[in-house]
């Protein structure tokens, strides 16, 4: 998802990592494991912190053994859709903070059914 947000091809990411685009495909599909140092390198290239890749993953068990709480994944799920990605890219290009706030308020009203 992040690679696509940056309009980066699998080949470009592979070149930056020193691997083939096929290897990047295998990483993205989960066919091949990504080592810690490689994950850190990918995070650097994609300009995100390493924890970005773990959104939506269950938290480790706490002292009581409860591991049922999960990190919120709604943002990741939204950005994984073509609409979410398109909307996010367009919204980021809006430089006027007041206009961005107005858009957020509009969307909240639409979601709440306040505008028909």
pLDDT tens-digit profile, the chain (116 residues): 888 888 899 999 999 999 999 999 999 888 899 999 999 999 999 988 888 887 766 555 555 555 444 445 677 777 777 888 888 888 888 888 899 999 999 988 898 887 76
Question: How many domains does the chain contain in total?
Answer: 1
What CATH number is attached to the domain comprising 30?
1.10.260.40
Cα separation, 84 vs 88, whole angstroms:
6
Q: Which residues span the domain enclosing 44?
A: 2-57
Task: Report how far Cα 88 is from the mean position of its chain's Cα atoms.
Answer: 11
Q: Is 9 left (phi over 0), alpha (psi -120 to 50) or beta?
A: beta
The answer as to whether 7 is a domain residue is: yes
The answer as to whether 112 is a domain residue is: no
The answer as to whether 116 is a domain residue is: no
Cα separation, 112 vs 90, whole angstroms:
22
51, 58 in Cβ contact below 8 A?
no
The answer as to whether 76 is a domain residue is: no
Structure pTM?
0.53
């Amino acid at each position: 998802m992040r690679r696509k947000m940056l309009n980066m091809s699998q080949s470009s990411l592979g070149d930056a990592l020193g691997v083939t685009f096929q290897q990047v495909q295998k990483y993205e599909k989960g066919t091949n494991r990504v080592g810690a140092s490689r994950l850190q390198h990918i995070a650097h290239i994609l300009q995100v912190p390493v924890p970005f890749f773990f959104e939506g993953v269950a938290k480790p068990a706490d002292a009581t053994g409860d591991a049922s709480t999960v990190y919120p994944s709604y943002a990741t799920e939204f950005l994984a859709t073509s609409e979410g990605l398109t909307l996010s890219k367009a919204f980021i290009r809006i430089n006027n903070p007041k206009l961005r706030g107005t858009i957020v308020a509009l969307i909240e009203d639409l979601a709440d059914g306040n505008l028909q």
